[in-house]
A and B are shown apart, each in its own frame.
Chain A
Amino acid sequence: MTIRQVSIFIENQSGTLQKVLELIKRSQIQIIASTIADTADYGIYRIICNEPDRACLELKEAGVAVTISNVFAVELDNRPGGAADVVARFSEAGVGITYMYAFVIEGRGILIFRTNQVEEAEKVIAANGLHALTESELPLQY
């Protein structure tokens, strides 16, 4: 029920993000969604892409600190409060969300989040008739 996300450790310095993006471009990997937060010295650049395993391998070979983690990609109703209603289902069930970001693709809102309570989250999804995307459902455009 989860999809793979590529997480890259980067230094908070001009040029480092560009270097990583250049590597991804050279590998002909398509980024679908990405997010980065800032801390004083470093950041974790998180990417949903079409070939996470190959992205990870190629970045590793280029000497980048990178890891794969599993995240949920839940489809949202296209209306105000769509995200609030989904998140409410998880918090009611006591499922903690470590981080979250969202994007819209082909008119559909997708909420990406990570939790340490994977099994409980899966139960919430099933019980509430939510739709968690699999990797094959990710919209790819070539």
Chain B
Amino acid sequence: MYTPDPSSPYFNPELETLSAEGLRALQSERLQQTVRRCMNAPFYQKKFAELGITPEDITSVDDVSKLPFTTKDDLREYYPFGFSCVPLRDCVRLHSSSGTTGNPTVVLHTQADLDAWAEAVARCLWMVGARPDDVFQNSAGYGMFTAGLGFQYGAERVGMLTVPAAAGNTLRQIKFIRDFGTSVLHAIPSYASRIYEVMNEQGVDPRRDTKLRVLCIGAEPHSEEQRRRIEENLGVKAYNSYGISEMMGPGVAFECQEQNGLHIWEDYFIVEIVDPVTLKPVPDGQLGELVLTTLRREAMPLLRYRTRDLTRILPGECPCGRHHVRLARLQGRSDDMIILKGVNIFPIQIEKILLQFKEIGTDYLITLETREGEGDVMNVDVEVNNVFTDDYATLQRLEREITRQLRDEILITPRVRLVPKGTLPVSDEKKAVRVRDLRKLF
């Protein structure tokens, strides 16, 4: 570990400003190491045997296309430790994703993995102007949610005084921001807006009464206009963060001060954008699914992991001096995953719960909407079927029980509404519409 130079725009000047050729050479070297390491994992042993390839077939970054893809389903199937490449005694941390069906996914870290993760986040924070003199407040949930500990260790690595405020309790967040002199804040965009609303109600002027100047936002879809409004309201510069728990969490990609695309650290990842149907690479600049191969992971390297996130690579050089490619703002998903308040939810999770209630039909409608003062919320409409009882109390109990079970599954409390049969919308091919996204991206 070295000490970064506070006057430098780069946390790690050598690696951040490495030329494109330099990055390719480094990727080729690290890919070979990664592939050899993967041979310790039962999943990759099987895959390599099926494809008839050996680690010796991989000699440069161009050979990445010979490697098998890895999916979230694979991670679930080999739950909990089938992707581990080191003995468990060499691991020091485990993160597990909540928002999935069936088995959760598990990500293991050695101490070196955690150090590399912290550096990735530190580079991102440094890139947007955070320095050791800053006070960093993290309003992400801690625990299994990687944005909690991920930002914590990254901010500490920068050398900032770090406040693990965690999620919720907006009045306390505002008190901390004022009393501790928080200058860099991490929040999901809707929560940043909420903080501003509550500041307004409390007569707090963020420009006059706080030292806030940098805001890191991510984990939730938002428009450029929403970002500009948050910046205007809070008197900050807001930077987009991209993280994915299977890769580690936050720190995968981040905007620089140009605010034009998110640099993804190519000494950590090989980036491919593929057509989600044919799985063939698309030309630079074209929309496709982001596929990542890890280059610095010890405990659990992943080859060609399909993130399901749709984006494109921005062509051209960035004036900031970093040659790591830039991803455009994410454009959605190649599967049906819903991201609500930073939590990943699949409609199948909701369906699975609803099917357990014989009082309701099999049709349902998930509506995501933005509500004044509450931010983004989820409504779940379910159809009452013919065995309903002639009793309000029973119907209300049913609503409450469905709500409770859904909350236990998706970790967000939806508003459950019973509706009569035949009132849920049906699309053209008689296929039921399951999800409606009416969220305001401002």
Contact = CB atoms under 8 A, between A and B. Distances in A.
Q: Do A and B come from one complex?
A: yes
Interface of A: 5, 7, 9-11, 16, 37, 39, 41-42, 44, 46, 60, 63-67, 69, 98, 114
Given A16-B420, A63-B421, A9 B392 contact: no
A64 B418 contact: no
B363 to A, nearest CB: 12
Interface stretch (B14-22, B59-67, B102-110, B380-388): B380-388
A107 to B, nearest CB: 29
A21 B375 CA distance: 39
B45 interface: no
Nearest to A116: B391
Given A10-B420, A42-B395, A65 B390 contact: no
Contacts of A9: 384, 388, 418, 420
A67 B390 contact: yes
B422 A5 contact: no
Contacts of A5: 390
12 contacts: A9-B420, A41-B418, A42-B417, A42-B418, A63-B422, A65-B383, A65-B384, A65-B386, A65-B388, A66-B386, A67-B389, A67-B390
Interface of B: 383-392, 395, 417-423
Nearest to B416: A41
Contacts of A44: 390-392, 395
A65 B421 contact: yes
Contacts, number: 50
Contacts of A69: 389-390
Contacts of A42: 384, 395, 417-420
Q: Choose among B390, B395, B417, B423 the residue with the greatest number of A CB atoms under 10 Å from its CB.
A: B390
What is the predominant secondary structure among interface residues of chain B facing chain A?
Answer: loop
A39 B419 CA distance: 12
Nearest to A114: B390
A133 B334 CA distance: 63
What is the predominant secondary structure among interface residues of chain A facing chain B?
Answer: strand
The 5 tightest CB contacts between A and B, nearest first, are A7-B390, A69-B390, A63-B422, A65-B384, A9-B384
A11 B420 contact: yes
A6 to B, nearest CB: 9
Nearest to A59: B386
Contacts of A7: 390
A60 B388 CA distance: 12
Nearest to B385: A65
B390 A46 contact: yes
A112 B413 CA distance: 39
B419 A98 contact: no
Contacts of B422: 63-64
Contacts of B419: 11, 41-42
B386 A67 contact: yes
Nearest to A16: B420
A69 B386 CA distance: 13
Nearest to B415: A41
Given A11-B420, A16-B420, A41-B417, A67 B395 contact: no
Contacts of B384: 9, 42, 65
A37 B389 contact: no
Contacts of B421: 63-65
Contacts of A60: 386
A21 B121 CA distance: 63
A41 B386 CA distance: 18
Q: Choose among B383, B418, B420 the residue with the greatest number of A CB atoms under 10 Å from its CB.
A: B420
